[in-house]
Chain A
Amino acid sequence: MTAANMAVANHEVMADGGVSPWRRAARRFGHNRAAMAGLLVLAVLVVICYGTLPWTLGCYARQNLHDTLRAPTAAHLMGTDRLGRDLFSRWLLGGAISMGIGLASAAISVVIGVGVGVVAGYSGGRVDAVLMRAVDVLYGLPYILLVILLRVALVGRMTGTLAWMGVPHPREVAGIGVLLIGIGSVSWLTMARVIRGQVMSLRNRPFVEAARALGLSPGRVIAKHILPNVVGPIVVYATLTVPAAILAESFLSFLGLGVQPPVPTWGNLASAGVAAINPIHIRWWLIFWPCAGLTVGLLSLNFIGDGLRDALDPQRD
């Protein structure tokens, strides 16, 4: 950093010395053009995918065997698949489900990861050692193994339970639920490690010691003094978990372990498109649209996550 830059930076610090760190982070995020573009694109995707749910839910599985494998036309904006289903409505619903899977996985990884990380980091000693070894073991186990085992163990029971509870489409819902548990059960590991490291460094800081010395219970120290200080990394890693989970779903769909058709996701539409490739007919729309949706969605989410990381980095001040 040159002297001139330093001077400018110092000046800026002085100029907004009275602004809260959150406001400053928001301002930094606003200046990040890639992140703002990502936010805009994501907002558009969310609105069109979720806004059309009432329509797409009604017709995503409607087959028309006279109209199979048509290239995009005005009637079918993205063409039709081999069962004559309209790809556009499937794409919209698939986007909604893919993004929902991403969000739900992020939520799972926040709950488990932050819980384990905070407990391990704050307790230290034996609790920490046991929890972190468990994390190591899960890292060491092949990911696919876990997902398949969970499917074997849970799909049947969950379908039964959901049917008993009167949930519509129990099998489809159970499939998505088990997939979520599978992806979520792996994605919290990184979160737990990161949060544990943060909490460990916070634990011995004077303000935490002061809180403890005042006789606050551990729960209160964690809730009032530790958690607010790790919100930054939590937000950043949660944001980055969303695209990772969407990608994981597409991988699993490719292996035939993802959400099962006819329920569409961008991932299983894409892998159906890959399967439909053959040297004689190139049905580009079957692979292009789902993959384009995946790419655009992942790109904007990654830009947002990256922008958040830069904006919430305290060393930037």
Chain B
Amino acid sequence: MTSYIIRRLLLMVPTLLGMTFMLFAVVRFAPGLREAGQANVAQGMMQSKQAQKQEQMLVAQRLHLVDKNGHPISLPMQYLLWLKSTCEGHLGTSLEYPEPVLKLIEQRLPVTLTINLISMIVIYLVAVPGGLLAAVNRDRLFDRGYGLMSLALYSLPMIWVGSSLLGFFANPEFFNWFPAAGLHATNTQSMDFFQYIGDYFYHITMPIACSTYAGFAFLSKQVRGSILDNLGQDYIRTARAKGVKGSTVMLRHVFRNSLLTLITLTGMSLPGLLGGSVIVEQIFSIDGMGRLAYTATLARDLPVIQTVALIGSVLTLLSYLAVDICYAMADPRVSYA
């Protein structure tokens, strides 16, 4: 097992190199990015021409665009230098905020992760049993009703749902149940730990509602389909024929096999956990990863863009690995060799 994981991790290295190369190419060849990246440092500051020039030079050096003497560096060399400093853990400093990229991500990641994890759990808790029941009651009222409902929810535009939630549940004219924006009340200083946690969850209730409602349809459809596939298999008929209890057949034989589909789907959605939804974060004014990536791209904040995208790529690869390992654990037919 350990040697399998180590081998897979080693195999990831060339893929990761390819990914960094593509990332570099996409970011560097987009016109305006480099120049804008340099220019927005000096913007709005009362500086002499000389100081501005110096500042730009420093930024260019930090981004590995020019060397110490101000001579431009060739693109392949830029790539290697970027790779080197990234491997050493120097992810750079944001051009937009006077802070290291890592610190920015450190601030924003917990929020996005909390919201996405809770949303994911809620979606699984509803969609998996829902899909299972729909498959068992195929073409009956529950199947039809649940299918229509989840598809209808999926079709509602998130902008509408988000702004309606705000308009009806965070509005003194209707129900002033939830806060309209932000993550904390203004008086967090005077709260004890539990009050603080309570306040936090109170603030993220509506964002979570907004990021879950559309997720049921896809997952339950897949679960339903996979269970229907398995229900038609010979070994299920055999199990039934030899008198195994219905619930045991469902859990041990059908669901166990559908677990493989679930593992794949979960693995595919893992990278999204850190990505964060720009829309939800924008509607509810939450400073998360989605908004960070969005504002960084608008501001051409090169270090932030590169880091966020790099984290996304690494995570994608890691979740493939996680899927394969889970597969091997869930399915005895898959071997590590």
**Taking beta carbons and an 8 Å cutoff, which residues of A are in contact with B?**
1, 34, 133-134, 136-137, 139-142, 144-146, 148-149, 152-153, 243, 247, 250-251, 254-255, 267, 270-271, 274, 277, 279, 282, 287, 291, 294-295, 298-299, 302-303, 306, 315
Contacts and interface: CB of A to CB of B under 8 A. Distances in A.
Contact of A137 (B22, B27, B32): B22
A270 B158 CA distance: 11
Given A136-B19, A274-B163, A298 B30 contact: no
Interface stretch (B96-104, B115-123, B274-282, B329-337): B274-282
Interface of B: 15, 18-19, 22-23, 26-27, 30-33, 144, 147-148, 151-152, 154-160, 163, 167, 171-173, 217, 221, 228-229, 231-232, 271, 275, 278-279, 282, 290, 293-294, 297-298, 305, 308-309, 312-313, 315-317, 320
A282 B26 CA distance: 44
Given A148-B297, A298-B155, A137 B23 contact: yes
Interface class of chain B by DSSP:
helix
A274 B33 CA distance: 31
Contacts of A146: 26
Contacts of A149: 26-27, 30, 33, 297
A303 B155 CA distance: 10
A152 B32 contact: yes
Given A137-B19, A277-B167, A243 B313 contact: no
A251 B49 CA distance: 41
A151 B183 CA distance: 32
Contacts of A302: 151, 154-155, 217
26 contacts: A1-B231, A1-B232, A133-B15, A133-B18, A136-B15, A136-B317, A137-B313, A140-B313, A141-B23, A141-B309, A145-B26, A145-B305, A149-B30, A149-B33, A152-B32, A153-B30, A251-B158, A251-B279, A255-B278, A274-B163, A287-B160, A287-B163, A294-B160, A295-B155, A295-B157, A299-B152
B12 to A, nearest CB: 11
Contact of B309 (A145, A153, A267, A294): A145
Given A144-B278, A152-B32, A274 B159 contact: yes
A35 B199 CA distance: 44
A139 B309 CA distance: 10
A303 B309 contact: no
